[in-house]
Structure 1
């Protein structure tokens, strides 16, 4: 980015200038550019105020400004923009800066720092300095592709949610039926694990990876609940005939000719009690269940191993969980880095935000060496969020304490993140 002395250059502004140069080489209608951006604006970190300012700037452009070889530059004054948007001067500058850092507009500064421009007789811009909207043209295909991905992700999430709903309803029905019938089985353990999985269901934003893991756990739990239920109900023993003449009577009944007139009574033989005349104690005996018997508390070794494995998997943190649990950190991260697609982007932004809360480079390097890049990034997000909320006065000391806990095996970041999520949902 060419430094004019009026504005401090940053990597984000440099990227915006490169996008503006690329946008000058393509022809994109203004309507298409704005529609593509608005569909993904919230996802890339734009807020309502940013979109309002962008709409105001777009109203100054003309159709020919979006043709190939042209740049849609707006040179409206701050006073006019403040009047149109209702922003204060500081708010106007903040929104404009965010638009540029995210790569939606670019600044074209004049030598004297003022905005101005002129058009020829055909209405084309000959020379102008101000807000350059050319990056929108360069990123139209990117925004449209991102929108298609978001649509596919949204549909996948809806499908996964429906499957999770079916699985959890089946699990709940089986457990309630088993408990109400006093069937033997590890129902208390199943209930505890089921409730724990219910707590993990996302309340707001979610990613398909998180839902896929939850669906897998729900289906595994459903299979085990079904197996335990069938085992408990399959243990039912038929009530034996006490007179010991079942075989003889059955043989005699088979030899009876239905066309002949017989004087002997027809005897109906069954291995089950007549449900009409049997009393409750007989039903319970036929079901092989002791009345009011408590559920069996002992869990077999295989179930214990599976519960331990699922609990271990649940400790893994993902980006959506961190961003949802730490909204203040997420806002700053998106403002600094735009769309964050993976842990690498989040780690890079964490390194940029580190000096803002007073964490030294040495402390940050030690945290990465001892905890690993991913865990250190998640820990920093939590420290940043707590410091912003006034919960932590010394972020550097708090991070060092987390490093010591990690070395002793006592650091449980997932508990902190899910605890904050539960607090938001309450």
Structure 2
């Protein structure tokens, strides 16, 4: 397995000056070198992208190195291996001979191997009287040994880039999560700002980022997210400061009506029913709940209205009979909820129960439990609405994307659910019977397909 002298290719393969120069340089470099063949192979696997090697070529090189008798590659141990294509096929898990020839040529072109051809082009070795190899023809590992330092340097570079990419992606994921959660706070608290445009910009940026982005692309992406994160945090800080300032001036101007039905302004402001009986001990004004918040929390209820959205309290009250029919809420329970929770609060609660759908097995029992809690002063509808809004917005934080909360439906898509007109017609029909009536093959949003809803005792509040 001696290195021998400079050789020329066999057959039609031509000799070039570059090949001759490479052989001379490699011969000078490997004089005193010795390297572990498997450490070198692992470094090659890491540096594969920079060397332009395929995984099949590396698998073939692994099989070729297994024919080298020593663990360390050196001139003293010989540099030529001479396995047949059949032997290589067996050690490369049955790789076809044509594939072996193709990938072996790619290893030679990559400058990792050189051919040391025999007079007839075959691979074999000559042994002396003592049994040692005096002359070998096959593939020389001399270029691999000569480039070992370069290969280790490339492997280190690839590893550094991989680590840097990992850290950048980690920072990007943290910023996306923070931005997603902060946007939920912004929308729930109604912080002033052009948040719709910001969400569009974020969505465009996320969709434009390639799956296998380069370092410069990741750095630009992280820079943008950092600016957005800082912008949202500053807006929330300013909003919190303004709220603290206005809270001191408005605590003496607070007005609470005695009737639950009158505790709402034109913006559907919901006030805790407990505050109708006694002033709050914290002396802070109850934050109003906007119509936009209810629309975002209950998009499926909004489409049941005549205008497709809840624009005022009357729109919400108009769908209450339909919701009662779909949720199997009788008149007695509805009156009990209206008296304990409040008329508008009950309508909002029904919308939330409808939006939760099959997650609540017994809406009537659930509403009765909530009404009992409200009677003892332990229920507030606002957290329920805010949790639904967070559920609508949580997709952005979980998938690292910004989404719209409106429910998109294909107008040509056939649906197993009731339309708004069908739901109202179902209510008119059900008013004449003891149970809700739905068109054949249809069911309401959030209700089971079966006419008999499974019953479960409500546990705790929503």
TM-score by length of 2: 0.48
CA RMSD in angstroms comes to 3.6
Moved over 6 A (4+): 10-16, 241-244
Q: Is structure 2 residue 118 aligned with structure 1 residue 118?
A: no
Alignment match, 1:28: 35
Q: Is structure 2 residue 123 aligned with structure 1 residue 100?
A: no
Q: 1:7 aligns with which of 8, 13, 18?
A: 13
Q: 1:218 aligns with which of 217, 225, 237?
A: 225
After superposition, the Cα gap between the structure-2 partners of 1:231 and 1:65, relative to the gap in structure 1 and judged at 3 Å, is closer
State the shift of 1:187 in Å: 0.3
Q: Is structure 2 residue 164 aligned with structure 1 residue 156?
A: yes
State the shift of 1:186 in Å: 0.8
Alignment match, 2:47: 40
Structure 2: gaps spanning 5 or more residues: 1-6, 254-278, 294-462
After superposition, the Cα gap between the structure-2 partners of 1:170 and 1:62, relative to the gap in structure 1 and judged at 3 Å, is same
Number of aligned positions between the proteins: 258
After superposition, the Cα gap between the structure-2 partners of 1:174 and 1:240, relative to the gap in structure 1 and judged at 3 Å, is same
After superposition, the Cα gap between the structure-2 partners of 1:277 and 1:147, relative to the gap in structure 1 and judged at 3 Å, is same
Alignment of 1:310-321 (within 5 A): none
Cα distance in structure 2, aligned partners of 1:293 and 1:235:
22
Q: 2:249 aligns with which of 240, 247, 252?
A: 240
After superposition, the Cα gap between the structure-2 partners of 1:168 and 1:278, relative to the gap in structure 1 and judged at 3 Å, is same
Alignment of 1:121-140 (within 5 A): 125-140=133-148
SS of the aligned residue for 1:240 comes to: helix
State the shift of 1:225 in Å: 2.1
TM-score by length of 1: 0.51
After superposition, the Cα gap between the structure-2 partners of 1:181 and 1:212, relative to the gap in structure 1 and judged at 3 Å, is same
Alignment of 1:1-400 (within 5 A): 2=8, 4-8=10-14, 17=23, 20-22=26-28, 24-25=30-31, 26-41=33-48, 44-63=51-70, 66-68=73-75, 71-85=78-92, 86-120=94-128, 125-203=133-211, 205-236=212-243, 237-238=246-247, 240=249, 274=280, 280=286, 283-284=287-288, 291-292=290-291
Cα distance in structure 2, aligned partners of 1:176 and 1:242:
27
SS of the aligned residue for 2:249 comes to: coil
After superposition, the Cα gap between the structure-2 partners of 1:241 and 1:223, relative to the gap in structure 1 and judged at 3 Å, is closer
Structure 1: gaps spanning 5 or more residues: 245-272, 285-289, 295-426
After superposition, the Cα gap between the structure-2 partners of 1:278 and 1:190, relative to the gap in structure 1 and judged at 3 Å, is same
The answer as to whether partners of 2:70 and 2:77 remain within 8 angstroms in 1 is no
SS of the aligned residue for 2:34 comes to: coil
SS of the aligned residue for 1:66 comes to: strand
Deviations 1:5-50 (A, max 9, x none): 4325689967864675355423334344334323434553333322
State the shift of 1:219 in Å: 0.3
SS of the aligned residue for 1:28 comes to: strand
After superposition, the Cα gap between the structure-2 partners of 1:29 and 1:53, relative to the gap in structure 1 and judged at 3 Å, is same
Structure of higher CA gyration radius = 2
SS of the aligned residue for 2:53 comes to: coil
The answer as to whether partners of 2:108 and 2:114 remain within 8 angstroms in 1 is yes
Cα distance in structure 1, aligned partners of 2:11 and 2:74:
31
SS of the aligned residue for 1:184 comes to: coil
The answer as to whether partners of 1:70 and 1:125 remain within 8 angstroms in 2 is no
Alignment match, 2:391: none
After superposition, the Cα gap between the structure-2 partners of 1:220 and 1:15, relative to the gap in structure 1 and judged at 3 Å, is farther
88-97 or 102-111, larger mean C-alpha shift: 102-111
State the shift of 1:96 in Å: 0.5
